[in-house]
Amino acid sequence: MKTIIFVSSHTNFSGLRLGAALGTFLTVQGQEVVLAGAKKDLPAYLELPTLSLTATATVKTITAALKKAGAQKVISLAYLPACEAAAALNIPFVYIEPENFKEAKAVKNKKALLAKALHVYLLGTATTPLNKKMYGPNAVRIPNPAIWVEHYNYNKPACFKKANNLLAAGPLTKNSGFDVLLKSWARLAPAHTTWHLTIVGDGTQKAALKKFITAHKLGPSTEIVSADTDLYSLMRNADIYVSAARSEALLDELLDAMASKLPVVATDVAGITDLVANGISGLVVNPGEEEPLTIALDELMVNWGKRVGMALEASKHKERFCFETFAQTVLQ
């Protein structure tokens, strides 16, 4: 069985996150898997075979690519053109997207298209009845699974702990609050010389953030790396994950960080309190405010015992949002 998994990136959802994990799972199950998507959505660190398309690939182009690749099944993560191409070739397809997801461009035939799917999975935890009129008769709601990695730091010998690591990720825009995070870090870094801050992302604010780092002499303790860096390799050795968003956070990455035994400091924006129990699995502070963020970070940085306790609580998301359950559901 040759399965093509299409991934795409949107403002608040990246198909790569689930696509790569699902592809690895299916490979272990004996399927031949290829990840497909725009070149910008397929970073170099991927270990699975890839099929690169242009960002503006038409349904006709995708149909030809599927035919040439010998696809026998298609799984599409929030990428409807792949479903259209699969339907044109009579290839069975599965569609997955966050519940109430909004495309950048409205798709007129979405309802009719999804009615042809083997299954439609909506990532969500709402308790209200699923809107079958919107998503079709084959739609099923399933919790957004946590992609977790084995965490290293807490089992490391003390001599290996040369530095402790803060990690943050997201688009480098004003909404992500990295300017506030850097202001807090400028106050904390001189007193915490063994700590290091890594920000993962790209965007319009990158130059301004780098200018702030230089002006406040934060270079030795601070790094901004590209969005196509393997975030999960960084999570393995992080000690605290920070979400400083002003209005809308990247909840997928936050969920994964917590499942990977990371205590978090997060701003109180939509969806955060569903994941973070304040004072138990992390600390929740007001968005856009430097002082509360500084105090919360300092509290966790100086208290190793509190970090470990919160990490253990945060890691329960691994079972609450079980990836294996999700993957088995898609497989069956």
Q: Over 60: is that where the pLDDT of 156 sits?
A: no
Same domain, 19 and 53: yes
Same-domain status, 52 and 164:
no
**Overall average pLDDT of the 106-129 stretch:** 86
Domain range spanning residue 94?
2-144+322-331
Instruction: Tell me what the pLDDT averaged over the chain comes to.
Output: 91
Q: How many structural domains is the chain composed of?
A: 2
End-to-end Cα distance, the chain: 13
The CATH code of the domain that includes 213 is 3.40.50.2000
Domain co-membership, 309 together with 179: yes
- Rounded-to-integer distance, Cα 198 and Cα 207, Å: 16
For residue 191, how many other CB atoms are within 10 A of its CB? 10
Q: Is the pLDDT of residue 226 over 60?
A: yes
Confidence of residue 159 (pLDDT cuts 50, 70, 90): very low
pLDDT at residue 40, as a whole number: 87
In 10 A of CB 108, how many CB atoms? 8
Considering the domain architecture, whether residues 138 and 230 belong to the same structural domain is answered as no
Q: Quote the percentage of the chain above a pLDDT of 90.
A: 76
Strand ranges inside the chain, DSSP E: 2-6, 32-38, 50-53, 73-77, 93-98, 119-123, 139-142, 164-169, 195-200, 222-225, 240-243, 264-267, 282-285
Query: Among the listed ranges 56-60, 126-130, 273-277, which one has the minimum average pLDDT value?
Result: 126-130
pLDDT at residue 71 is higher than 90: yes
- Residues 164 and 296 reside in one and the same domain: yes
> Which residues lie across from 38 on neighbouring strands?
53
What is the structure's pLDDT at 152?
Answer: 66
Does 327 lie in the same domain as 233? no
In three-state secondary structure terms, 97 is strand
What does the pLDDT read at residue 153? 56
Same domain, 135 and 34: yes
pLDDT in tens, 271-303: 899 999 999 999 999 999 999 999 999 999 999
165 and 254 assigned to the same domain: yes
Q: Could you tell me if 137 and 160 lie in one domain?
A: no
* Residue for token pair 């780098």: 210
Residues 171 and 117 occupy one common structural domain = no
Are residues 195 and 159 part of one domain? yes
Q: What percent of the chain has pLDDT over 70?
A: 96
- pTM listed for this prediction: 0.90
Q: Are 25 and 94 in contact (CB under 8 A)?
A: no
Tokens 């994941």 belong to residue: 275
